[in-house]
Amino acid sequence: MYMKHLVSGLLLSLAISGAAWAGPTPPARRAATQKHLIYFKDKAGSPFQLDQPDAFLSARAQARRQRQNIALTAQDLPVNPSYVAQLKAVPGVSYWYPSRWFNAVMISCDDATLAQVQALPFVRQASPLNRKKTAAPASDTYAPVSAATQRSVAGRRSDYGKAYAQAVQLGAVAMHDAGYRGEDMHIAVFDAGFPGVDKLTPFQPLFAENRLASTYNFVDKQPAVFLRDGHGTSVLSTMAASQPGFFTGTAPKATYHLCITEDVASETPVEEMNWLIAAEYADSVGVDIITSSLGYTTFPDFPAATHTYAELDGNTAIGTRAADLAARVGILVLNSAGNDGNGAWRYIGVPADADSIIAVGAVDSVGIRSGFSSVGPTADGRIKPDLAARGGQAAVIRPSGAVVLGNGTSYACPILAGMTAGFWQANRNRTAQEIIALLKQSGTQAAAPDNLLGYGIPDFVRAYNLANPGTPLGTRPVHNRGEVRVYPNPSEADQFFLTLPAELQRRPVQVRIFDTLGRLVSEQTLVGAAGPAQLSAAHLIAGTYSCLVNAGTVQYATRFVRR
């Protein structure tokens, strides 16, 4: 349960079908069909090769691995398309998705057809994924923003609106002032739906600036995501919303991939499988960060599959294994801890128990744990949650466009994910696991972590200074600095110019240019520039670039297009 189109055709088809994409084959006996996970014995005879990754991974996905020195393995190879073709040829099979990490496929069929599938020579095992369906209520709560709350927030930092307090609590305001707003960081959001995102003003920069990189609805097997449940809209707003004076999220310049994995009409392991398939998809298109405000413990529609506490060991559940496999390929995964802290089941859910991700708990405006926030430890004794952020009375945008206060670790998770994107942007040479370690070291409970809030509330400035002890940031935001700008923009010329604000003029200034894959493609030091500085673009191919300019602890970021 939830804490309660634009991608190349080749990669999309590989991510969701393993061969040529096709809609589900109509099942022979619809009333009796159920979904199953079919594991293959091997990948023998597959046409995919590790030394030809372009066939199944985007350039950005390969670059993410290269930056972190992560080698490709057989687990990265797609399932054998011959096996898929033979399985789809069995009458009565409705084919859904493959999983290269599990070397398996998800199908639906009746019991008689399943017996035929299990008799295929390349099939190792079959596991049931669902039974009946019943409605599932949301477990997050909302309330209108009171006039008193509006007065307490308004005027302190007008650009952020009611989101200011939750941003400043993590140091995200200082992060933005330092020039890190998530530029060229790709974030995948796994949730239950995103209605209104295509219409509401705070989300329009995603479209105007081409920062909505892809969408896919893994529940309905289609690209459309601006539908279904509005939970994802609220989650996305805490990061991506960008309407100065009304609402600004923690990563307002990041690039997003929106994925529907949660079906609010049912509770079965199918949703964990959707999470897995979406994670593989996110890997293939080159995502840096996954933020998931989802969690699974009980399955009222399939009681036999309900998780026990003993299964929260970081290695057992489908969703947990999926999260750890995403971490293995260099994706930084954040997942909400859960909202069961006040219930009979007090513990975190799946996949928050994964050992290589950040499970996020919830605090209020003054940093006190919200009572509903789920706790640890895991079954094998590890501390959970890992970190915490604002989840008690957090400001979010609903599909109607209204700003409300929401309770749920669902909001703590993306608020922190946005800050994490900016922090990784500022420390691009670090691995995902190093970023997690630095954030933990910056936490308010780093010296004494516990199973209520883990390492506590992280802070961008503290984490940045830990990562860069020789060039620390100041502890106070810098205001009214002016702007850094590249012109002409776009440009076809071999030379372009960089304007510098007064505080950077006549000082040694480092200029670094990164491509859309996050690779450093140019580095130059300017000495004593008193006006626009001339830079060479002759070696840059056509594309969009990020330009990071810094002099000591003063830093700026801007973007430009080379034609």
Closest of 151, 207, 157 to residue 177, by C-alpha: 157
The single residue listed with the structure tokens 């580095």 is 523
Query: Exactly one of 410, 442, 515, 546 is catalytic; which is it?
Result: 410
3-state secondary structure of 495: strand
Phi, psi of 128 (to 5 degrees): -70, 150
Residues 272, 140: Cα–Cα separation, whole Å: 20
Answer positive or negative: Cα dihedral of 521, 526, 531, 535: negative
Query: Exactly one of 36, 176, 186, 231 is catalytic; which is it?
Result: 231
Closest of 370, 360, 363, 303 to residue 337, by C-alpha: 360
DSSP letters, 181-235, are S-TT-EEEEEESB-TTTTT-GGGHHHHHTT-EEEEEETTTTBS--SSB-THHHHH
Residues 105, 76: Cα–Cα separation, whole Å: 15
The CA–CA distances, whole Å, from 293 to 1, 119, 162, 281 equal 9, 38, 21, 18
419 torsion bin: left (phi>0), alpha (psi -120 to 50), beta (else): alpha
The CA–CA distances, whole Å, from 426 to 185, 217, 288, 359, 415 equal 11, 32, 14, 22, 17
Structure tokens at 460: 């961008």
Q: Which residues contact 437 (CB under 8 A, 6 or more apart)?
A: none
- Known catalytic residue at 159: no
- Known catalytic residue at 191: yes
Structure tokens at 346: 């007090």
Tally Cβ neighbours within 10 Å of residue 293.
32
Residues 212, 193: Cα–Cα separation, whole Å: 15
DSSP letters, 409-437, are HHHHHHHHHHHHHHHHHHTTTS-HHHHHH
Answer positive or negative: Cα dihedral of 141, 144, 145, 147: negative
3-state secondary structure of 561: strand
The DSSP symbol for 537 reads -
- Known catalytic residue at 231: yes
Structure tokens at 161: 């609106």
Query: Exactly one of 76, 140, 177, 191 is catalytic; which is it?
Result: 191
Are 27 and 98 within 8 A, CB to CB? no
Q: How far apart are the first and last CA of the chain?
A: 46
Residues 328, 156: Cα–Cα separation, whole Å: 41
The DSSP symbol for 292 reads E
Q: Which residues contact 239 (CB under 8 A, 6 or more apart)?
A: 182, 187, 189, 249, 250, 251, 252, 254, 256, 291, 414, 415, 417, 418, 421
* Amino acid found at 344: A
Structure tokens at 232: 């994802």
Catalytic residues: 191, 231, 410
